[in-house]
Amino acid sequence: MQRDVPRFRELSDFLRFIESKGQLRRIRERVSVVHEITEIHRRVLGEHGPALLFEQPIKADGTPSEMPLLTNVFGSVERIAWGMGITPDRLDELGAPMAELRAPRPPHGLRDAWDKLPLARAALATRPRTRAAAPVHDCVAMGDDIDLGRLPVQICWPGEPAPLITWPLVITVPPESAAADQEENVGVYRIQVLGRNRTIIRWLAHRGGARHHREWKALGRDMPVAVVIGADPATVLASVLPLPETISELRPQPRS
């Protein structure tokens, strides 16, 4: 599909774009991650308001965070469409080929096969690419240097046992002995922070990450997991789409 908005290589690109459209509000006051940010977010979401960038969140221990906190970024149909590269009036146009990819049907005749050719080209254009180096490698912490307390992780509701990372992209892969047609899975599962370098992932039994875990466990092996916080908007949105198990959420978008 032809894009209606610029290509967003990073989340910061998207934030600059929605801010130029009046769809991002910067909160410069100090606001606590314990209940306060959630309540502000809840009210703004109910009013179909803008994305919120808290520039000085206060962590649960009362100290200011060195990192900002973004909420409500996809709290409107308009921002969801922009994140996918199109305007809201074209969401149905995008949904049709996505539905076809989820449940593909063989073409009925030459004309139908010709009509499906753009879909086949788009699928072929989504082959993954690898890079020797990436910005994510610019700052690496290992061992005792790991400190999850640096993150402004929210305690959203009263009675929750620990802070929760609420929209992480959790990446898992099946073991080598799993079905050859399975791809890596990207899902949004809440991560509960237990300590400086310990977390647990909460996922539902029928989701892709849980299935991979069962496959690794059956082999008696630990499962490798990668977690991404703050990806580009298309990748974030792809992580919550009901894609077929044979289609990877990480495959790049075809160029237009």
What string of H, E and C letters represents the secondary structure of 5-34? CCCCCCHHHHHHHHHHCCCEEEEEEEEECE
For residues 156 and 35, is the Cβ–Cβ distance under 8 A? yes
Distance of alpha carbon 171 from alpha carbon 185, whole angstroms: 6
Least confident residue range of 5-9, 136-140, 215-219, 232-236: 136-140
Q: What does the pLDDT read at residue 134?
A: 79
Mean pLDDT of 154-180: 85
Give the residue with greater pLDDT, 34 vs 131: 34
Paired with 193 in beta bridges are 199
Q: What does the pLDDT read at residue 76?
A: 95
Percent of the chain with pLDDT over 90: 57
Query: Which pTM value belongs to this model?
Result: 0.81
99: confidence class by pLDDT, cuts 50, 70, 90:
low
103: confidence class by pLDDT, cuts 50, 70, 90:
low
Q: Which residue has the tokens 């994305």?
A: 51
Distance of alpha carbon 216 from alpha carbon 180, whole angstroms: 15
163: pLDDT strictly greater than 60: yes
Q: What does the pLDDT read at residue 215?
A: 92
Least confident residue range of 10-19, 71-80, 233-242: 233-242
Q: Where are the domains of the chain?
A: 11-80, 90-124, 153-238
Q: What does the pLDDT read at residue 253?
A: 42
**Average model confidence (pLDDT) across the chain:** 85
88: confidence class by pLDDT, cuts 50, 70, 90:
very high
Q: Which amino acid is at 184?
A: E
239: confidence class by pLDDT, cuts 50, 70, 90:
confident
> What six digits make up the tokens of 85?
């590269």
Q: What does the pLDDT read at residue 256?
A: 39
Nearest CA among 237, 209, 242 for reference residue 99: 242
Strands 185-188 and 51-58: unpaired
Percent of the chain with pLDDT over 70: 78
Q: What does the pLDDT read at residue 162?
A: 84
* DSSP for residue 162: S
